[in-house]
Chains A and B, each alone.
Chain A
Protein backbone atom coordinates (compact mmCIF):
# COMPACT_ATOMS: atom_id res chain seq x y z
CA UNK A 1 0.00 0.00 0.00
CA UNK A 2 0.98 3.59 -0.37
CA UNK A 3 2.65 4.67 2.84
CA UNK A 4 3.13 8.41 2.76
CA UNK A 5 5.27 8.71 5.88
CA UNK A 6 7.58 5.84 5.00
CA UNK A 7 8.00 6.96 1.41
CA UNK A 8 8.68 10.54 2.41
CA UNK A 9 11.31 9.59 4.96
CA UNK A 10 12.84 7.03 2.63
CA UNK A 11 13.10 9.54 -0.19
CA UNK A 12 14.46 12.25 2.08
CA UNK A 13 17.15 10.04 3.58
CA UNK A 14 17.91 8.39 0.28
CA UNK A 15 21.54 7.48 0.83
CA UNK A 16 21.52 6.43 4.47
CA UNK A 17 18.19 5.23 5.72
CA UNK A 18 19.47 2.09 7.36
CA UNK A 19 22.83 3.13 8.70
CA UNK A 20 23.92 5.72 11.20
CA UNK A 21 27.41 6.27 9.89
CA UNK A 22 28.45 8.01 6.72
CA UNK A 23 29.69 4.83 5.04
CA UNK A 24 28.87 5.99 1.55
CA UNK A 25 30.71 9.29 1.84
CA UNK A 26 34.50 9.32 1.79
CA UNK A 27 36.58 12.30 2.78
CA UNK A 28 37.14 13.16 -0.90
CA UNK A 29 33.37 13.26 -1.35
CA UNK A 30 33.11 15.62 1.61
CA UNK A 31 35.80 17.85 0.10
CA UNK A 32 33.94 17.84 -3.23
CA UNK A 33 30.70 18.76 -1.44
CA UNK A 34 32.43 21.72 0.23
CA UNK A 35 33.99 22.92 -3.03
CA UNK A 36 30.68 22.64 -4.90
CA UNK A 37 28.91 24.52 -2.11
CA UNK A 38 31.42 27.37 -2.12
CA UNK A 39 31.43 27.72 -5.91
CA UNK A 40 27.65 27.47 -6.15
CA UNK A 41 26.97 30.01 -3.41
CA UNK A 42 29.44 32.55 -4.81
CA UNK A 43 28.14 32.03 -8.34
CA UNK A 44 24.49 32.48 -7.40
CA UNK A 45 25.36 35.49 -5.26
CA UNK A 46 27.12 37.06 -8.23
CA UNK A 47 24.10 36.28 -10.41
CA UNK A 48 21.96 38.13 -7.87
CA UNK A 49 24.23 41.16 -8.38
CA UNK A 50 25.94 41.17 -5.01
CA UNK A 51 29.41 42.68 -5.02
CA UNK A 52 32.27 40.19 -5.10
CA UNK A 53 34.37 41.91 -2.45
CA UNK A 54 33.19 43.81 0.61
CA UNK A 55 33.71 47.54 0.78
CA UNK A 56 37.20 48.77 1.65
CA UNK A 57 38.75 49.04 4.18
CA UNK A 58 37.91 45.55 5.34
CA UNK A 59 36.68 46.53 8.79
CA UNK A 60 32.94 46.75 8.48
CA UNK A 61 31.41 43.42 7.68
CA UNK A 62 27.78 44.44 7.79
CA UNK A 63 27.91 45.15 4.08
CA UNK A 64 27.13 41.78 2.58
CA UNK A 65 29.08 40.59 -0.43
CA UNK A 66 29.51 37.43 -2.44
CA UNK A 67 32.78 36.45 -0.78
CA UNK A 68 32.27 37.16 2.86
CA UNK A 69 29.13 35.88 4.48
CA UNK A 70 27.71 33.75 1.66
CA UNK A 71 30.19 30.81 1.53
CA UNK A 72 30.58 30.85 5.33
CA UNK A 73 26.85 30.39 5.85
CA UNK A 74 26.69 27.80 3.08
CA UNK A 75 29.54 25.58 4.27
CA UNK A 76 28.38 25.91 7.89
CA UNK A 77 24.93 24.60 7.04
CA UNK A 78 26.39 21.87 4.81
CA UNK A 79 28.60 20.80 7.72
CA UNK A 80 25.56 20.51 9.97
CA UNK A 81 23.94 18.21 7.41
CA UNK A 82 27.14 16.15 7.06
CA UNK A 83 27.48 15.76 10.80
CA UNK A 84 23.87 14.67 11.07
CA UNK A 85 24.50 12.07 8.31
CA UNK A 86 21.88 13.55 6.08
CA UNK A 87 23.40 13.64 2.63
CA UNK A 88 20.56 12.91 0.20
CA UNK A 89 21.41 11.82 -3.33
CA UNK A 90 24.57 11.74 -5.46
CA UNK A 91 26.99 11.75 -2.49
CA UNK A 92 25.52 14.99 -1.20
CA UNK A 93 26.04 17.02 -4.36
CA UNK A 94 22.33 17.83 -4.73
CA UNK A 95 22.30 19.02 -1.14
CA UNK A 96 25.39 21.16 -1.79
CA UNK A 97 23.82 22.90 -4.78
CA UNK A 98 20.49 23.47 -3.00
CA UNK A 99 22.18 24.93 0.07
CA UNK A 100 24.44 27.09 -2.07
CA UNK A 101 21.45 28.59 -3.88
CA UNK A 102 19.43 29.03 -0.69
CA UNK A 103 22.25 30.70 1.21
CA UNK A 104 22.85 33.15 -1.65
CA UNK A 105 19.12 33.98 -1.68
CA UNK A 106 19.22 34.37 2.11
CA UNK A 107 22.14 36.77 1.98
CA UNK A 108 20.57 38.80 -0.80
CA UNK A 109 17.01 39.13 0.49
CA UNK A 110 16.72 38.12 4.14
CA UNK A 111 20.06 39.00 5.72
CA UNK A 112 19.30 42.61 6.63
CA UNK A 113 15.95 41.54 8.05
CA UNK A 114 17.37 38.84 10.33
CA UNK A 115 20.66 40.53 11.25
CA UNK A 116 19.82 44.24 11.10
CA UNK A 117 22.62 46.77 11.06
CA UNK A 118 23.35 48.35 14.42
CA UNK A 119 22.15 51.87 14.97
CA UNK A 120 24.64 54.70 14.81
CA UNK A 121 26.62 56.20 17.64
CA UNK A 122 24.13 58.96 18.40
CA UNK A 123 20.81 57.47 17.41
CA UNK A 124 20.39 54.30 19.35
CA UNK A 125 23.09 53.38 21.83
CA UNK A 126 21.70 52.70 25.25
CA UNK A 127 25.06 52.17 26.95
CA UNK A 128 26.88 55.39 27.58
Chain B
Protein backbone atom coordinates (compact mmCIF):
# COMPACT_ATOMS: atom_id res chain seq x y z
CA UNK B 1 0.00 0.00 0.00
CA UNK B 2 1.09 3.56 -0.64
CA UNK B 3 2.80 4.90 2.46
CA UNK B 4 0.94 8.20 2.70
CA UNK B 5 -2.49 6.58 2.33
CA UNK B 6 -1.47 3.91 4.83
CA UNK B 7 -0.35 6.49 7.37
CA UNK B 8 -3.63 8.38 7.03
CA UNK B 9 -5.71 5.21 7.50
CA UNK B 10 -3.51 4.17 10.43
CA UNK B 11 -3.85 7.60 12.05
CA UNK B 12 -7.65 7.43 11.83
CA UNK B 13 -7.72 3.88 13.21
CA UNK B 14 -5.36 4.81 16.08
CA UNK B 15 -7.39 7.92 16.92
CA UNK B 16 -10.63 5.95 17.03
CA UNK B 17 -9.01 3.14 19.03
CA UNK B 18 -7.56 5.21 21.82
CA UNK B 19 -10.37 7.76 22.06
CA UNK B 20 -13.05 5.06 22.25
CA UNK B 21 -11.16 2.86 24.72
CA UNK B 22 -10.15 5.80 26.91
CA UNK B 23 -13.64 7.30 26.90
CA UNK B 24 -15.26 3.95 27.66
CA UNK B 25 -13.00 3.32 30.64
CA UNK B 26 -13.79 6.69 32.14
CA UNK B 27 -10.77 8.88 31.53
CA UNK B 28 -12.88 12.03 31.09
CA UNK B 29 -14.83 11.21 34.23
CA UNK B 30 -12.19 11.66 36.88
CA UNK B 31 -8.47 12.35 37.05
CA UNK B 32 -6.74 9.08 37.84
CA UNK B 33 -3.53 10.75 38.98
CA UNK B 34 -2.88 14.10 40.57
CA UNK B 35 -1.22 15.80 37.61
CA UNK B 36 -4.31 15.13 35.51
CA UNK B 37 -6.45 17.22 37.84
CA UNK B 38 -4.08 20.19 37.53
CA UNK B 39 -4.06 19.96 33.73
CA UNK B 40 -7.85 19.58 33.60
CA UNK B 41 -8.41 22.65 35.77
CA UNK B 42 -5.93 24.62 33.67
CA UNK B 43 -7.65 23.70 30.42
CA UNK B 44 -11.00 24.64 31.92
CA UNK B 45 -9.58 28.01 33.01
CA UNK B 46 -8.56 28.71 29.42
CA UNK B 47 -12.08 28.09 28.18
CA UNK B 48 -12.01 24.37 27.51
CA UNK B 49 -14.10 21.49 28.70
CA UNK B 50 -13.28 19.94 32.08
CA UNK B 51 -13.90 16.39 30.86
CA UNK B 52 -11.63 16.90 27.87
CA UNK B 53 -9.06 18.44 30.20
CA UNK B 54 -9.12 15.41 32.45
CA UNK B 55 -8.79 13.22 29.35
CA UNK B 56 -5.72 15.15 28.18
CA UNK B 57 -4.20 15.15 31.65
CA UNK B 58 -4.72 11.43 32.02
CA UNK B 59 -3.13 10.54 28.70
CA UNK B 60 -0.24 12.87 29.52
CA UNK B 61 0.43 11.70 33.08
CA UNK B 62 0.00 7.95 33.01
CA UNK B 63 0.13 5.17 30.41
CA UNK B 64 -3.38 4.87 29.01
CA UNK B 65 -4.69 3.64 25.70
CA UNK B 66 -2.75 6.30 23.78
CA UNK B 67 0.58 5.15 25.16
CA UNK B 68 -0.69 1.59 24.83
CA UNK B 69 -1.41 2.01 21.12
CA UNK B 70 1.96 3.62 20.45
CA UNK B 71 3.88 1.01 22.42
CA UNK B 72 1.89 -1.84 20.90
CA UNK B 73 2.86 -0.60 17.43
CA UNK B 74 6.51 -0.52 18.45
CA UNK B 75 6.31 -3.95 20.05
CA UNK B 76 4.57 -5.37 16.98
CA UNK B 77 7.24 -3.88 14.72
CA UNK B 78 9.98 -5.49 16.80
CA UNK B 79 8.56 -8.87 17.73
CA UNK B 80 5.24 -9.48 16.01
CA UNK B 81 2.05 -10.39 17.86
CA UNK B 82 3.89 -11.62 20.99
CA UNK B 83 5.59 -8.23 21.11
CA UNK B 84 2.22 -6.51 21.34
CA UNK B 85 1.19 -8.77 24.21
CA UNK B 86 4.50 -8.23 26.06
CA UNK B 87 3.84 -4.52 25.74
CA UNK B 88 0.44 -5.02 27.36
CA UNK B 89 2.19 -6.54 30.37
CA UNK B 90 4.70 -3.67 30.46
CA UNK B 91 1.91 -1.08 30.29
CA UNK B 92 0.15 -2.90 33.12
CA UNK B 93 3.30 -2.63 35.26
CA UNK B 94 3.65 1.02 34.25
CA UNK B 95 0.08 1.67 35.35
CA UNK B 96 0.90 0.20 38.72
CA UNK B 97 4.05 2.29 39.05
CA UNK B 98 2.04 5.43 38.28
CA UNK B 99 -0.63 4.37 40.82
CA UNK B 100 -3.17 4.80 38.04
CA UNK B 101 -6.40 2.92 38.69
CA UNK B 102 -7.54 2.09 35.21
CA UNK B 103 -8.05 -0.62 32.66
CA UNK B 104 -7.53 1.57 29.61
CA UNK B 105 -3.82 1.04 29.00
CA UNK B 106 -3.81 -2.73 28.90
CA UNK B 107 -7.07 -2.95 26.97
CA UNK B 108 -5.83 -0.36 24.48
CA UNK B 109 -2.66 -2.37 23.94
CA UNK B 110 -4.55 -5.57 23.23
CA UNK B 111 -7.07 -3.91 20.90
CA UNK B 112 -4.26 -2.09 19.08
CA UNK B 113 -2.38 -5.37 18.63
CA UNK B 114 -5.54 -6.95 17.24
CA UNK B 115 -6.11 -4.02 14.87
CA UNK B 116 -2.53 -4.08 13.60
CA UNK B 117 -2.71 -7.84 13.11
CA UNK B 118 -5.99 -7.63 11.19
CA UNK B 119 -4.94 -4.70 9.01
CA UNK B 120 -1.63 -6.35 8.19
CA UNK B 121 -3.62 -8.48 5.73
CA UNK B 122 -4.50 -5.39 3.66
CA UNK B 123 -0.94 -4.12 3.69
CA UNK B 124 -0.71 -1.75 6.64
CA UNK B 125 2.60 -2.10 8.45
CA UNK B 126 3.31 -1.37 12.14
CA UNK B 127 5.60 1.49 11.09
CA UNK B 128 2.58 3.27 9.61
CA UNK B 129 0.80 2.81 12.91
CA UNK B 130 3.71 4.38 14.82
CA UNK B 131 3.62 7.47 12.61
CA UNK B 132 -0.17 7.50 12.66
CA UNK B 133 -0.28 7.34 16.44
CA UNK B 134 2.14 10.25 16.74
CA UNK B 135 -0.14 12.24 14.41
CA UNK B 136 -3.21 11.19 16.40
CA UNK B 137 -1.69 12.32 19.71
CA UNK B 138 -0.62 15.54 18.02
CA UNK B 139 -4.20 16.31 17.05
CA UNK B 140 -5.28 15.83 20.66
CA UNK B 141 -2.45 17.56 22.49
CA UNK B 142 -0.60 19.69 20.01
CA UNK B 143 -2.75 21.82 17.73
CA UNK B 144 -5.22 23.43 20.09
CA UNK B 145 -5.72 21.99 23.55
CA UNK B 146 -8.86 24.00 24.23
CA UNK B 147 -10.69 23.09 21.02
CA UNK B 148 -9.76 19.43 21.20
CA UNK B 149 -10.91 19.32 24.83
CA UNK B 150 -14.34 20.54 23.72
CA UNK B 151 -14.51 17.76 21.10
CA UNK B 152 -13.40 15.20 23.68
CA UNK B 153 -16.05 16.48 26.08
CA UNK B 154 -18.75 15.91 23.47
CA UNK B 155 -17.50 12.38 22.87
CA UNK B 156 -17.50 11.79 26.63
CA UNK B 157 -21.13 12.89 26.80
CA UNK B 158 -21.99 10.39 24.07
CA UNK B 159 -20.45 7.66 26.21
CA UNK B 160 -22.16 9.00 29.33
CA UNK B 161 -18.75 9.52 30.93
CA UNK B 162 -18.71 13.30 31.41
CA UNK B 163 -17.00 14.68 34.51
CA UNK B 164 -19.27 15.05 37.51
CA UNK B 165 -17.37 17.89 39.13
Contact = CB atoms under 8 A, between A and B. Distances in A.
Interface in A35-86: 57-62, 68-69, 72-73, 75-77, 79-80, 82-83
B66 interface: no
Given A83-B82, A125-B34, 13 more contacts: A30-B82, A58-B25, A59-B26, A59-B30, A59-B102, A61-B103, A62-B101, A76-B85, A76-B90, A80-B82, A82-B82, A83-B83, A115-B96
Interface of B: 25-26, 29-30, 34-35, 79, 81-83, 85-86, 88-90, 92-93, 95-96, 99, 101-103, 106
Contacts of B83: 79, 83
A99 B148 CA distance: 43
Contacts of B90: 76
Given A58-B25, A118-B99, A72 B106 contact: yes
A23 interface: no
Given A59-B25, A125-B34, A75 B85 contact: yes
Interface of A: 30, 34, 57-62, 68-69, 72-73, 75-77, 79-80, 82-83, 115, 118, 125, 127
B89 A76 contact: yes
Contacts of B101: 59-62
Given A62-B101, A69-B92, A125-B34, A76 B86 contact: yes
A82 B79 CA distance: 10
Q: Is the interface of B mostly helix, strand, loop or mixed?
A: helix
A57 B30 CA distance: 13
9 contacts: A57-B26, A59-B25, A59-B26, A59-B30, A72-B106, A75-B88, A115-B96, A125-B34, A127-B34
B30 A76 contact: no
A79 B29 contact: no
Nearest to A77: B89
Given A59-B30, A59-B102, A72 B92 contact: yes
A76 B90 CA distance: 8
Given A83-B79, A83-B83, A61 B89 contact: no
A52 B86 CA distance: 23
A118 B101 CA distance: 9
Closest 6 CB pairs of A and B: A76-B89, A79-B82, A118-B99, A115-B96, A79-B85, A60-B101
Nearest to A82: B82
Contact of A58 (B30, B93, B103): B103
Contact of B89 (A30, A72, A127): A72
Contacts of A62: 101
B86 A79 contact: yes
Contacts of A34: 85
